[in-house]
Every structure is written in structure tokens, then in C-alpha cells.
Amino acid sequence: MGEFVRVEADPDHPAVAVIRLDRPRMNALNSRVQREIAEAAARVGADRSVAAAVVYGGERVFAAGADIKEMADMGYADMAAHSRTLQDCFTAVARIPKPVIAAITGYALGGGCELALCADFRVAADNAKLGQPEIQLGIIPGAGGTQRLPRLIGPARAKDLIYTGRHVDAAEALRIGLVDAVVPAEEVYRTAVSMAARYAGGPAAALRAAKQAIDAGLEVDLDTGLEIERLQFSALFATEDQKTGMRSFVEHGPGRAEFSGR
């Protein structure tokens, strides 16, 4: 349990872990918060009782960005060292080997938007604002925005957001693929948890393999990606869930298997 980031089980869906940011007032992502995010991601990834995770900043705001006061006086040498930690903490979330949903309320700007990009899916409040305003500070995104954003919404749209630093509302974010669902603000958390709960009782090894194959495949050429898929696919034939799933299909038809997660 960190000072500003904690991991909680949702009371209605105990297989869903909630990575809760809680640094008043705007969840500014200072060095302490960054380290605690990485620690929370490692905990969620290692906990076999967790099927999926939700990243949530509370009812008012997801995260309004990095702590500018902390960074303002840094020089090149300082940031050259710090930027590695900054990227690593977000990458830890992206590499959680389970489905991850970002529940976005209020602002998800700068580092907050970059954190949301690390999730597999994003649910936004209808009054949410997202963006990468770093250019207005004379810098560029440094926690994955220049890499994850164009992979998600395409290079031209990503360049528009990064070059201008403008905020997009929830409707535009949905239209360009930056978020996957828009719901009333009071429904964001429960919608994200319900999405995550769909994976409870699922074949954990197969879900992990699917995520790793897709994410790794996006970084390489098609032939290499197909080889990644082949190896992940073949490895699943060493799991109990593969035997259970195929036996259940043969004997009872599709969709009735009860998986052990092994």
C-alpha cells in the first residue's frame, strides 16, 4: 500500500484489482507516485487471484499530468536519469499480463493521458478531457506519448494532438479511437469494473498469451509477429485450461468450460 497509489479488490468483483491514484488535488504524477504505480503494477501482475485490473483516479480526475514544479528546475543530466524511471513506471502498467481498463474521469492530460494509453481499453466520462499539452511547456511527451499515441490513433492524429497541445473532449476521443467507450461520469467506475469482470474465471494463460502476442507483434514485421503468435499458441497446449476448454467443447459445446487458470 503506497502513500498515493493503492491496490484494492472491488467489493462486488474480487477478481478485479483497482489501481487507485489518490494524490489530491489533481493526481499529479511526481516521482513518488511514479514509483508507486510501478509497484502496484508488479503486485497486480503477480497476484494469481487477480483476473483483470482497473486504473482509476477517483470521481473528479484521472490524472492531470506530471508534477511540473518538481521538473521545472531539472537540467539535462537530471532528466536523462529521471526519464528512464518515468518511462519504466508506465511500461510496468502496459506489461501487466492481464486485461487492464483505464476509468477516466475529469482530466487525463500529459502523463495522465500517457498512463491511460498503457491500458488495453479506456472508458471515459462524457465530460472528460484528454490531451498531450507538453508542447505548451516547450517539451514533448516523455512517458510514451510519442510512441503509444500514434500506434493507437494513427500518426497524423497523434501529431495534431502533440504539435498543438490541445485537449479533446470525450466525443472526439471516441471518434478518433483514443477511448473505447463514453458513459455518464457517475457510471465510469462501474462500467470499467464490469468490463474487467468479464475476464474473471477465464483462461488466464491464454489471455496473457493473447496480450503478449498482440503487443509484441505490433513492434515487428508480419513474419516475426506470426512467429511470436505460433510460439504463444503452441505453448498453450501445455496448460490445463487448453485441455479443459477443448474437452468441454467436444462434450458440451462452446462457452461452457470452467477454467482453473493453469
Residues serving a catalytic function are: 114, 134
- Candidates 142, 144, 145; CA nearest to 158 is 145
> Which residues, other chains included, contact 162 with Cβ-Cβ below 8 Å and sequence gap of 6+?
132, 134, 135, 140, 141, 145, 146, 149
> How many residues does the structure list for the chain?
262
Give residue 14's Cα distance to chain centre.
Answer: 19
Residue type at 79?
Answer: M
**Which cell numbers in the block locate residue 210?**
493473447
Is 145 within 8 Å of 162 (Cβ atoms)? Answer: yes
Q: Which three cell numbers stand for residue 171?
A: 466525443
In three-state secondary structure terms, 63 is strand
Q: Work out whether the CA dihedral 227, 232, 236, 238 comes out positive or negative.
A: positive
Strands 100-104 and 52-56, sheet pairing: parallel
Nearest to 82 by CA among 94, 92, 93, 70: 70
Locus of grid cell 511514479: 34
